[in-house]
Amino acid sequence: MQRRRMRRLGILRSWGLVLLLLSAAASIDPACAQQSAPTTKPKPKPEATPKPAAPATRPVTPAAAVAGGAQTKLLGQYGVWGAYTATPGGKKICFVLAKPTASETNPPNRPRNPVYMFISTRPADKVTNEVSLVVGYPFKSGTEAMAQVAGANFALYTQQDGAWIKNAAEEAKMVDAMRSGDSAVIKGVSAKGTQSTDTFTLKGVSQALDRAGQECK
């Protein structure tokens, strides 16, 4: 497991991942860009990750690669799930992406940055359908998140604002459950103790995965 985690630490990124993610989301989803535009009504300041003294290595998400300068191509939109491809650093990746259809926090109405789920394929790294999430806040250190799909639970290990499936052997099982299920529910706890529940509809995810798989065979 440790070796698998280390393989994900392949890019040097600073504490400003959320800003990069928002930039990437705006480039691949005009609707997200409109939703993120400032309004005349002031908004509460989201929970922020404290800035470290020096940049730190963190696991890769497709959005981070895109925000790093790789141009993204939309392959198709299937419900809320989009299928995309990009070539950061000359290495082709394909991924599907969606925002949650419902989000709750306890205490209620806690501000957060945008939340996304990715399922990515990186042929050069021999990675297929890797599930990852960006949850809009830094997780509480040392805690796990939980994904509930089609009646099955999958533990997720966390690092700052990202989450990945803990047991690599269960990743294909989770993706299969997503293909046949109605929703995926992700639960976690922020560094400030806020409990979050994000629900993703799975309608369209199979078609998006099939399209991304065709592009990155």
pLDDT in tens, the chain (217 residues): 444 444 443 322 322 232 333 344 444 443 343 333 333 344 445 554 443 333 333 344 555 544 445 578 999 999 999 999 998 888 899 999 999 999 999 999 899 999 999 999 999 999 999 999 999 999 999 999 999 999 999 999 999 999 999 998 999 999 999 999 999 999 999 999 999 999 999 999 999 999 999 999 8
The amino acid at residue 27 is: S
Show Cβ contacts of residue 25 under 8 Å, excluding neighbours closer than 6 positions: 32, 33, 36, 63, 114, 116
Tell me how far apart the alpha carbons of residues 192 and 189 are, in angstroms, rounded to a whole number.
8
Angle between helices 171-180 and 205-215 (to 10 degrees): 130
103, burial (CB in 10 Å: exposed 0-12, middle 13-18, buried 19+): middle
Phi/psi zone of residue 15: left (φ > 0), alpha (ψ -120 to 50 degrees), beta? alpha
List the one residue out of 103, 102, 68, 71 whose CA is nearest residue 84. Answer: 71
Give the per-residue pLDDT at 88: 83
Domains of the chain from N-terminus onward = 2-35+55-215 (2.60.40.1880)
Dist CA 115 CA 152 (whole Å): 22
Q: Can you give the pLDDT at residue 71?
A: 78
pLDDT at position 64, please?
Answer: 52
Pairing outcome for strands 102-106 and 116-122: unpaired
Phi and psi angles of residue 60, each rounded to the nearest 5 degrees, phi first: -85, 140
The pLDDT value given to residue 70: 58
Q: Is the dihedral of CA 30, 27, 58, 176 positive or negative?
A: positive
Instruction: Work out the burial of residue 40: count CB atoms within 10 Å of its CB; fewer than 13 is exposed, 13-18 middle, 19 or more buried.
Output: exposed
